Amino acid sequence: MGRTALIRVKPRRYKKGDIIRVDSVIMHPMYNGIIKDKKTGKPIPPHYITDVEVYYGDQLVTKINVNASVSANPYFSFNLKVDKEAPLKMVWKDNKGEVTEKTIKIKPH
C-alpha cells in the first residue's frame, strides 16, 4: 500500500537470537519547500517523510523522526535481534498524510 518501498535484511539466512541488519528504501522526492521546480522556477511545496515506525510482531521496536534534509528516496538502516518468527512491518508517513506500509517475514533458522 502506498509508495514503492523495499526492505532487505543482511544476512539473508540467520539463527534465532542473531542480530541482523535491516535496510530500507522508500521512493519519495523529499521536497523540502526550498527546492525549485526546474520548469517554473517556483519552490515546490514541502512533501517529505516525517515518521517511520518499525513493528516486529506487535511490538514497536524503532521509531524514526525525519526532517526534510534527509536525501530523496530515504534510506534507513538499523539492527534487529531476531528472537522469534514474526512479521517485520515498516510504516512510513509523510507531511501530507500519505502512508506506505511494507512487511517482510522474519524466519530464523
Enumerate binding residues for another protein (CB under 8 A): 4, 6, 8, 19, 21, 23-25, 27, 29, 31-36, 38, 43, 45-46, 48, 56, 59-81
Neighbours of 29 (CB within 10 A): 13
Contact 28, 6 (CB under 8 A): no
Least distance CB 81 / another protein (angstroms): 4
Residue (80 or 91) nearer to another protein, CB: 80
**Alpha carbons 96 and 33: distance in angstroms, whole number:** 13
Pairing assessment for the beta strands 86-94 and 49-56 based on DSSP bridges: antiparallel
Residue (56 or 92) nearer to another protein, CB: 56
Distance of CA 95 to the CA centre of its chain: 15
Residue (29 or 87) nearer to another protein, CB: 29
**What contacts 97, CB < 8 A, 6 or more positions away?**
none
Least distance CB 17 / another protein (angstroms): 9
Least distance CB 80 / another protein (angstroms): 6
